[in-house]
Structure 1
Amino acid sequence: MCGRFSQHYTWEQIQAFSQPLTLATGQGNLQPHYNIAPTTNIHMIVPAEGGRELRSARWGLIPFWFKGASPKEFKFATFNARVEDFDQKSSFKSAYKSRRCVIPASGFFEWTGPKTDRTPHYFSAADGDLLAIAGLWERWKSPAGEDVTSCTMVVRDADEWTARYHDRMPSFLQPDDFDTWLSGSAGKELLRKTPPKLQEWVVGKKVNKTGAGDNDPTTIAPDLPRPDTPL
């Protein structure tokens, strides 16, 4: 699964990545986030008139049929949707048919080692570009009239390289796939294509705590041993 990732980019980068945004460069809040956890707001790209739009959405999809009074009452873990069965799950199948998105990611985290001493690893594109994660999004309205936009990442079985660290990974899209994914014309086969080449390094353990270092770029810096630390 993917339970932590980062989004940090300039307007020029996200404008080019989105092919293109209809929102003019320089508008909106692009505060960088280096340790994003579920239930926080993230950026997603959705179709818009004349192009595409960057929107904010809660990471953790709330289905339209939820009867609770607030998002805090929704207790299911819907920040990931498994490619094997999301089209059969009541939380995701409506969004799959008509509300798809692309989630831009600068990188994502996975952990190895025993539960008592987990080692965090950071993964990013080997060429330094942004990663495009396939996503689904939904609108939910509370009984009091509160509108909440939320989303989920699609995840798949890991490729051979990533499986050294975890048995699951995000379902990545290539730039040429954006149109067919967002329009709904592509099926799930698109989400099992060869992923982009990734790079990986160990980072400091402060990322093990939800939200720690979210505004600090050193959160994703390689955790190099001290000179007096045996290798």
Structure 2
Amino acid sequence: MCARYTLTRSEKQLLEAYNVKFPEFEPNYNLAPTQNGLVITADEPDIAQKMHFGLVPYWSADTKLNFSTLNARSEGAGMKKTYAPLLVHHKTCLVLADGFYEWDKKSGESIPYRFTLKDREVFAFAGLWSEWKSKFNDDVYRSFTIMTTVANETVGKVHDPKFRMPVILDRSSEKLWLNRHFSVPALLSLCQPYPDDLMNVYQVSKDVNTAAVKSIPNNKQEFILPLNSQ
């Protein structure tokens, strides 16, 4: 699964990776549920947009986040009330990132590790997005979920081989994920574990474990540094 990730690169680096129009966006070293991430949608592939991490379905009574919608299991998404309509109507998106965290809990402690890619500084998770509109005023809430698949060996070692990992798309698959003519089965076939030999992993400080302190996001540059290098 993926409940925390990072997007720390400069606007110049983001533009080099994705030639789209970007909004103002501050680096986030600990991007947590309900916070804004950057996504590129199939509907508007020429711009990156801010949306809230953690999908709120359009039919929800309010914007209270159900934490089970942070991630969508790719194997069953096409049969779920929450995700199937989004796939059918091509509400697909690229969730921009440069790393993500997972926790090793085998010892009883939550020991965080950060995963990055060897072949790209900035990459994209496969995502789905939704737009919620209030029945009582003009409020609109756009949000997204990150697709998951079975863990590769690199991610599985941190937790266990049955663990999940986010779907990381290669460059050719990114274009296909946003292809509005792709069938649902074809889209879901793109949700594969990323190659082990293209991933890096290292332990980081447990200070990253806390998403917020007194409702203020816990977001510090040193979180992404290897343990003991701060």
TM-score by length of 2: 0.86
| 1:7-35 residue CA offsets vs partner (Å, 9 max, x unmatched) | 111222222322x21x2xxx631200001
- Structure 1 stretches lacking a partner, 5+ long: 227-231
Which residue pairs with 1:229 in the alignment? none
Per the alignment, residue 32 of structure 1 pairs with 27
Tell me how large the CA RMSD over aligned residues is: 2.2
Shift of 1:76: 4.8
SS in 1 for 2:207: helix
Q: How does 1:203-222 map to 2 (within 5 A)?
A: 203-211=204-212, 214-222=218-226
- Per-residue CA distance 1:30-56 (angstroms, 9 max, x = gap): 20000111121111112466x521001
- Segments of 5+ residues of structure 2 without an aligned counterpart are none
- The structure-2 alpha-carbon separation of the partners of 1:131 and 1:214, relative to structure 1 and needing over 3 Å to count, comes to farther
SS state at 2:48 partner: strand
Q: How far has the Cα of 1:142 moved from its partner? A: 1.5
Alpha carbons of structure 1 residues 219 and 65: separation in structure 2 relative to 1, 3 Å = same
Pair 9,102 (structure 1): closer, same or farther in 2 beyond 3 Å: same
Identical residues among aligned pairs (%): 29
Helix, strand or coil: the match of 1:52?
A: coil
Could you say which residue in structure 2 is the equivalent of 1:121? Answer: 113
Aligned partner letter, 1:17: A
CA distance in 2, matches of 1:225, 1:178: 34
| Equivalent in 170, 175, 182 of residue 171 of structure 2 | 175
* Bigger radius of gyration among the two: 1
Work out the CA distance in 2 between the residues paired with 1:56 and 1:225: 32
**Matches of 1:160 and 1:31, distance apart in 2:** 32
Return closer, same or farther for 1:198/1:211 CA change in 2, 3 Å cut-off: farther
CA separation of 1:218/1:193 partners in 2, compared to 1, >3 Å: closer, same or farther? closer
Number of residue pairs the alignment of both structures matches:
217
Structure-1 residue corresponding to 2:14: 14
Given that residues 56 and 66 in structure 2 are in contact (C-alpha distance below 8 angstroms), is that contact kept between their aligned partners in structure 1?
no
Following superposition, the deviation at residue 77 of structure 1 comes to 2.0
Partner of 1:112: 104
